[in-house]
Amino acid sequence: MNLLITGGCGFIGSNFIRQRLLEKGSAVKRLVNLDALTYAGNPANLADLAGDPRYVFALGSIGDADLVARLLAEHQIDAIVNFAAESHVDRSIDSPEPFIQTNVVGTLRLLNGARLHWAQLAEPKKAAFRFLHVSTDEVYGSLAPEAPAFTEAHVYEPNSPYAASKAASDHLVRAYQHTFGLPTLTTNCSNNYGPYHFPEKLIPLMILNALEGQPLPVYGDGRQIRDWLYVEDHATAIWTVLQRGRVGETYNIGGLNEQPNIAIVKGICALLDKKSPRADGNGYASQIKYVTDRPGHDRRYAIDCAKIQKELGWSPKESFDTGIEKTVDWYLTHRTWAEDITQKKYARERLGTNA
């Protein structure tokens, strides 16, 4: 299989690429990574794969129709996995337009390129071609405390510019399958965490701020609830959907780990107290600082992933306890990776939490 991965230098995309190329007996013949290397794209995530003859990096945007067409034809692409997206809610509140350009217009142009490429394929390649679009549970809106988790049939109620832009892209993918017959798949995931997570997001922000002696900013009362999915479990789920998912279907991918934000932060503090205690003997929880809540902050997300479990046999392997310990350990041993981002790209700004 020859794959085109978009946004492959980002958090989830780079973990997916690493899994596919490092897996023993991988079915991947060629993997092309198209990434515009905006602020969250980091080639260092994949630096150790640069010498793999199966791996090709292409600098550019999913909105560049000529580039997309060339890559699809030149590398005889069999499937596209679209990770490319602006994904930080705070940034979408500050400036919504880049989210529309990348998540909506960019996805539209990528779909156009995929449709033209697919239409000229000969059988059996045409029948086997797939376009998998990676989306978010935030398109469904916010859940009440006792409400059942989001299923694939839940109405779309996006509450942030980011969520609205992803909802629009989901609808475009559905429309291209229904109108043109393009063999598409969509996945909607819960909050990811794990290695290579960009430092502005909740979990890496808390780990790195704690180690640097900085405040640990928690929005509002910290009782916003999220379902947390270890990124390697997510990558496995995407590969499973790509191989065996039913064309035109949506699959929700969750970690079965609902946690309030404040519990996440306190849990990270407790792990760091054991693994890298403060020199002054105080606990890291003393650095927690409650800050003004984000506008329109959704109170709860939760994913019902019974469909992918029943149809495709996927379930998350990591509990939150095992996954968060692996994550903390990774950041403790990859301080240089994080420092390079904060110094060169992030200018040590702290935007607060994303959850």
- Structural domain includes residue 287: no
247-289: per-residue pLDDT in tens?
A: 999 999 999 999 999 999 999 999 999 999 999 999 999 999 9
Q: How far is Cα 254 from Cα 230, in angstroms, rounded to an integer? A: 9
* Domain that residue 152 falls in: 2-193+230-256+296-317
With a cut of 50, list the residues of the chain below it in pLDDT.
346-355
162 catalytic per annotation: yes
* pLDDT confidence of residue 354: 45
Name the catalytic one among 137, 298, 304, 318: 137
Token pair, residue 192, equals 């990811």
Question: Is 40 domain-assigned?
Answer: yes
How far apart are alpha carbons 297 and 155 in whole angstroms? Answer: 19
Residue 205 lies in a domain: no
Does residue 269 sit within a domain? no
Q: What is the CATH number of the domain that holds 187?
A: 3.40.50.720
Q: What is the per-residue pLDDT for 298?
A: 86
Tell me whether residue 225 is in a domain.
Answer: no
Q: Return the residue matching tokens 């909740």.
A: 202
138 is catalytic: yes
Total domains in the fold of the chain: 1
**DSSP code string of 138-186:** GGG----TTSPPB-TTSPP---SHHHHHHHHHHHHHHHHHHHH---EEE
- Report the pLDDT value the prediction gives residue 25, as an integer from 0 to 100: 84
Write down the catalytic residue from 140, 162, 176, 301: 162
At residue 352, the pLDDT reads: 43
Q: Would you state the pLDDT for residue 87?
A: 82
Specify the 3-state DSSP secondary structure of 33. strand
pTM of the model: 0.94
Pairing of strands 225-230, 258-260: antiparallel
pLDDT of residue 344: 59
Give me 219's structure tokens. Answer: 């929005």
Identify whether the C-beta of residue 5 lies closer than 8 Å to the C-beta of residue 84: no
What digits encode the pLDDT tens for the residues 190-220? 999 999 998 888 999 999 999 999 999 999 9
The predicted pLDDT at position 351 comes to 42
Whether 290 is in a domain gets the answer no
**264 falls within a domain:** no
182 found inside a domain: yes
Active-site residue among 138, 232, 233, 258? 138
Q: Exposed/middle/buried for 111, CB within 10 Å: 0-12, 13-18, 19+?
A: buried
